[in-house]
Amino acid sequence: MRVLLLGGAGFIGLHLARRLLADGHAVTLVDDFSRGRRDRDLEGMPLDVRDADLTDPASYRALEHGWDQIYLLAAVVGVRNVERLPARVLRVNTLALMHLLDWIRPGEPLFYASTSEAYAGGVTAGLVPVPTPESVPLVIEDVAAPRFSYAISKLHGEAAVLHGAHAVVGRFHNVYGPRMGADHVIPELALRALRGENPFRLYGGEQTRAFCHVEDAVEAMVRLMATPAAFGRIVHIGDDTEETTVSDLAKLVLRLAGQDPVIDPVPAPAGSVARRCPDISLLRELTGFEPRVPLEEGVRRTFDWYRRISPGA
């Protein structure tokens, strides 16, 4: 197949590109490299790489048609970006998608990357069960709160693609792995452990999460795009087989780092939900998917990658 990855130089995109190439497909990757990187991982892959700003409609006009699959992964993500630059989050995430919908041809298969942040307001308000199915009501508690800008942009995107394209919407739940930057909990814990922080600040240690290794997430994406019944649906991508507290996750990371610091417990960041876990029954029903990477193994692989790239580690 000929596959187009929009925003493919970032975290999930590069792992997906590697998988698609291993499966024998030709992959074209488009990115503005505001978050993705032209590093050895990218340069060592036989990709057609194009530098373009997807908020500019001219970038789409420069692309040919005839793709067997298209994945839209381009977005401004990360809690720090969302809280500091909510207007940019809304602008970039909305324009990149709307210009795509103006350009895409009827019937071209599209995967749209969405987020579990869609449920944050409902969980906090006590309206949404955990584990969470796709069928629950979605709540934005305060449209003026910067924290909700990412969820708002993605909910707009979900509605737009489901009404305007032949698309699968994948709501990602706490996907992690090598090359995911430093703004998410697992790499953030790993990098602080590698620096030997002591006392070790632990934010929201009582909160629970269900993490999904990026190899499992990519497997789910590939299966969904090969499943006709998945099109026109919103489907969770995650791992509901293991939940962990942030405290136990930190203990695992510190053990991998060979560190035993004094733990300094502090409150969770404002707006973060107490528990997050997807119900992936629909993904199983549609594709037969089952997570394969246990949490401890996935965290070890991720920690080892960050240890290799961390100066002085």
pLDDT the model gives residue 51: 95
- How far apart (Å, rounded) are the C-alpha atoms in residues 189 and 138? 30
Q: Which CATH architecture has domain 2-309?
A: 3-Layer(aba) Sandwich (3.40)
Helix (H) or strand (E) holding 79: helix 79-84
Taken in order 93, 54, 182, 184, is the CA torsion positive or negative?
Answer: positive
For residue 286, list its beta bridge partners: none
Residue indicated by tokens 């791992």: 239
DSSP assignment of 7-70 equals TTTSHHHHHHHHHHHHTT-EEEEEE--SSS---HHHHTS--EEEE--TTSHHHHHTS----SEE
- How far apart (Å, rounded) are the C-alpha atoms in residues 60 and 243? 41
- How far apart (Å, rounded) are the C-alpha atoms in residues 238 and 235? 10
Q: Which residues contact 304 (CB under 8 A, 6 or more apart)?
A: none
**Tokens linked to 17:** 């590109």
**Tokens linked to 253:** 């990371």
**Tokens linked to 3:** 């596959």
pLDDT the model gives residue 312: 52
Q: Which amino acid is at 99?
A: H
pLDDT the model gives residue 157: 98
- How far apart (Å, rounded) are the C-alpha atoms in residues 253 and 189? 7
Residue indicated by tokens 């430093």: 182
Q: Which amino acid is at 118?
A: A
Q: Are 174 and 209 contacting, i.e. CB atoms less than 8 angstroms apart?
A: yes
Q: Which residues contact 283 (CB under 8 A, 6 or more apart)?
A: 220, 224, 235, 236, 237, 289
Residue 15's φ and ψ, nearest 5 degrees, are -65, -40
**Tokens linked to 186:** 């697992």
Residue indicated by tokens 């602008």: 91
- Specify the 3-state DSSP secondary structure of 240: coil
Terminal-to-terminal C-alpha distance of the chain: 41
Q: What is the mean pLDDT of each run of 10 residues along the chain (313 residues)?
A: 95 96 98 82 91 97 97 88 90 97 97 96 93 96 92 97 98 96 93 97 97 98 98 98 98 98 94 93 98 98 94 56
pTM of the predicted protein model = 0.96
**Tokens linked to 160:** 């737009």
For residue 4, list its beta bridge partners: 28, 70
